Amino acid sequence: MSSLPKFELTDSHCHLDFPDFDESRDEVVARAVAAGVTRMVTICTRLPQLAQVQAISETYAPVFFAAGTHPMHVAEVPLVSVEELLTVAQHPKMVGIGETGLDYHYTSESRDIQIESLRIHIEAARISGLPLIIHARAADEDMAQILTQEHAKGAYSCVMHCFSSSAELAQAALDLGFYLSMSGIATFKNSGALRDIFKAAPVDRILVETDSPYLAPTPHRGARNEPGYTVHTAQVGAEIFGLSLDAFASQTNANFARLFTKVNTWEAAA
């Protein structure tokens, strides 16, 4: 009899190209699958690292990738163009644009170029039809305003990755039809206010992620995170919404498939 879990989960955001996984990538992916995590999206945060991220997606069947310039890196690398992002988007396992966004906590001095980069990524998402992956930290007002302004110019889809911002930004995103992604932060003891924000959201707009190697959920807090730990965040998500783990896993997988439609195309052809 198989010992695999009955449920299936998707880690919608991880960083498998980071050196934290260089010595154990095979084992990390295998542990994730054994834990019921049957899809992973690994994120390229700087296009000079694209070749490695693509290679990882090509090596492991359950792994897809997204690409963009992280807001904390926009001042360090050449500004990406819409055309460059659309070219990368032609790869069959490239399923999202980003992560992009605004981070004024650590890099407020690059605010203007962060905003310029964000608008470029939005345009690429709008043209390609791939979902935008947003990083937002200490920039709620600008983020809500830009996402809303740009959506009025032409619709696009989006997930607020590792959501840990205000209830106001959550509502602004939900009002635009966007999704909120729940990370290990939601499992932390002092994250009651964040759990309340998720609880107020429609369950059909929720994704789960690890953001590994960062933000390991309880009971692994402080250790290196990995995609197999998605289950711990999903268990808390199930409690928030009053669902069984199986039901919450099924719902979040359906949400992921609705947003990341290119994954469905790949799996249908596999």
Residue written as tokens 């994250």? 191
Residue 218 forms part of a structural domain = no
261 and 254 Cβ atoms separated by less than 8 Å: no
Q: What is the pLDDT of residue 4?
A: 60
Q: What is the pLDDT of residue 1?
A: 39
Residues 107-142 have pLDDT tens digits of 999 999 999 999 999 999 999 999 999 999 999 999
Residue 139 forms part of a structural domain = yes
Residue 29 forms part of a structural domain = yes
As for how many domains the chain has, the answer is 1
DSSP codes, 92-157: TTEEEEEEEEEETTT-GGGHHHHHHHHHHHHHHHHHH-PPEEEEEES-HHHHHHHHHHHHHHS---
Return the CATH number at 86: 3.20.20.140
Residue 143 forms part of a structural domain = yes
Instruction: Name the residue range of residue 102's domain.
Output: 9-213+229-269
CA-CA distances (angstroms) from residue 242 to 73, 153, 246?
Answer: 39, 38, 12
Q: What is the pLDDT of residue 270?
A: 75
Q: What is the pLDDT of residue 3?
A: 55
Task: Please state whether the predicted TM-score (pTM) of the whole model is above 0.85.
Answer: yes
Residue 219 forms part of a structural domain = no
Whole-number Å distance between alpha carbons of 112 and 13: 26
Residue 3 forms part of a structural domain = no
Residue 253 forms part of a structural domain = yes
Residue ranges of the chain with per-residue pLDDT less than 70: 1-4
Residue 196 forms part of a structural domain = yes
